[in-house]
Amino acid sequence: MTEPPTALIWFRNDLRIDDQASVLAATRDHRRVIGYTSIPRSWFAAGPLGFPRMDRFRVRFLLESIEDLRNDLAPLNISLVVGFDDDDSLGDVCREHGITDAYLQHEWTRDERNDESRIPEHVRVHRAWDQFLFHPDDIPMEVERVPEVFTQFRKACEKESTVRPCLPTPEPRDPDNLLSDPPPLPTLEELGVSDEAPDPRSVVPFRGGATTGRDRIDHYFWKTRSLSNYKHTRNGLLGEDYSSKFSPWLAIGCLSPRRIYWEVMEYERTVGANQSTYWMVFELLWRDYFKYVSLKHGPDLFRVGGIRRRSYEWSRDTDAFERWTQGRTGEPFVDANMNELRCTGFMSNRGRQNVASYLSKTMGIDWRWGAAYFESLLVDHDVHSNYGNWNYNAGVGNDPRDRVFDVAWQAERYDADGAYRRTWAGPAG
């Protein structure tokens, strides 16, 4: 029997149903809809620098997010099929279920585009820009003209653009839309990824999924009202609430930036607006900015000369690089931060700036190695934020001042009592 025409929603870095353009468009235009997502299994093996492209923190967070998405789709009577990047599961699903149309988030970086070649040719592809705070059609400039200085970009957006309202969640499909036997989710063990207990020193027990993402907003905004002090605490290093910790959920789209923005607006209306509430939006604009920089500069973001095409000499001393990754540089503040990253998959923004500057400017090591190591471990890895910030900190990107961090001074300023350095003095607490 031939299947009736069916739409596929390919979930990638948009693992949610709330404020989700592809979900809304597919369900609006098609009676039969299937969800699909793919696990990048080929990224779990060690690469040339000795670590995988996606280490255990990210894999675990991804699996949890996929499981939560499947649970959120069930009441809509939409099944989620999970495949792998290194098989033809996408082609199989399209053939087996008579897929005519595929709905997915617009991605522009090389690997994500290559991945799209797995969509069979006969399938019509509908892409949505769904990862931005300010939609690309709404920013007051062409992407090619995005300024090289953040402040100019921010001011133009704040003055001349608006954030779109959140999209509604669709009505449920008929129950016969559900597949009778969707395959089970793989476990970490089946994927060959070690399942270690979280380090008790971890700032937040990060658990993937839109449900925990919404809980985190609830905690940071409404239960603790930490948002009201965010601007004064955001350079912190220890504890759950010095910053929002929204980044892992934003990175793979369990939370939409528009949802956070509109919650900030509601908070300002009901609890009160101040510099801190504004600063949350300011930081979300940094996130947008690096996405626009990535769109504008394309592959230059990943080249050693960066978006400014600088030709510096870089060291490729693997022993020195290993001292950095393993927290053995001899610089206590750098080592503490690297220990935190290695043990938990997270590091504060202050820490990231310091260790990036130290690797690229003080040690002179190819900044792309540092970015690759961050990509492997950071539970919030986002290709544009990571490579954009590394460009910036390594002096090949958007920092007009070309600063070198004095890490000893930074330690005294931000860890005056040494509590952070003591907490992360070694791999075990």
Ligand X SMILES: Cc1cc2nc3c(=O)[nH]c(=O)nc-3n(C[C@H](O)[C@H](O)[C@H](O)COP(=O)(O)OP(=O)(O)OC[C@H]3O[C@@H](n4cnc5c(N)ncnc54)[C@H](O)[C@@H]3O)c2cc1C
List for the chain the helix, strand, coil content (%; round to 5).
50, 10, 45
Buried b (16+ CB within 10 A) or exposed e, 159-169: eebebbeebeb
Residue type, 71: N
Under the binding rule (CB under 6 A), the answer on residue 287 touching ligand X is yes
Contact track, ligand X, 389-428, x by CB under 6 A: xx--x-----------------------------------
Q: Candidates 113-121, 147-155, 330-338, 379-387: pick the segment binding ligand X (CB under 6 A).
A: 379-387
Least distance (Å) from ligand X to the CB of residue 134? 14
Chain centroid to Cα 370, Å, comes to: 17
Tell me if 243 contacts ligand X by CB under 6 A.
Answer: yes
Where b means 16+ CB within 10 Å and e means fewer, 398-412 reads bbeeeeebebeebbe
DSSP-assigned letters across all residues of 99-161: EEEEEEE---SHHHHHHGGGS-TTSEEEEE--S-SS-TTTSSS-GGG--SSHHHHHHHHHHH-
Scanning 189-197, 286-294, 402-410, 414-422 for contacts with ligand X by CB under 6 A, the matching segment is: 286-294
Does 207 bind ligand X (CB under 6 A)? Our answer is no
Q: How far is CA 360 from CA 47, 228, 304, 315, 366, in A?
A: 21, 35, 11, 9, 6
Q: Which of 244, 276, 325, 410 touches ligand X by CB under 6 A?
A: 244
Amino acid (1-letter code) at residue 73: L
Interface of this chain with ligand X, residues 168 to 197, rule: CB under 6 A: none
Segment contacting ligand X by CB under 6 A, of 118-126, 132-140, 309-317, 375-383: 375-383
d(CA 304, CA 397): 11
Cα 106 to chain centroid distance, Å, stands at 15
Asked if residue 215 binds ligand X (CB under 6 A), the reply is no
Q: Which is nearer to ligand X, 262 or 286 (CB)?
A: 286
Q: How far is the CB of 380 from ligand X (least distance, A)?
A: 4
Q: Which is nearer to ligand X, 246 or 424 (CB)?
A: 246
Of the candidate residues 381, 395, 398, 405, the single one contacting ligand X (CB under 6 A) = 381
362 in contact with ligand X (CB under 6 A): no
Q: How many C-beta atoms lie closer than 10 Å to residue 241's C-beta? A: 18
Q: Can you tell me which of 23, 25, 93, 250 binds ligand X, judged by CB under 6 A?
A: 250
> Residues in the chain, how many?
429
Q: Does 14 bind ligand X (CB under 6 A)?
A: no
- From 8-16, 31-39, 137-145, 351-359, give the range in contact with ligand X by CB under 6 A: 351-359
> Shortest gap between Cβ of 318 and ligand X (angstroms)?
20
φ/ψ of 198, rounded to 5, equals -60, 145
User: How crowded is residue 193: how many other Cβ atoms within 10 Å of its Cβ?
Assistant: 21
Binding site for ligand X (CB under 6 A): 234, 243-247, 250-251, 283-284, 286-287, 290, 348-349, 352-353, 356, 374, 378, 380-382, 385-386, 389-390, 393
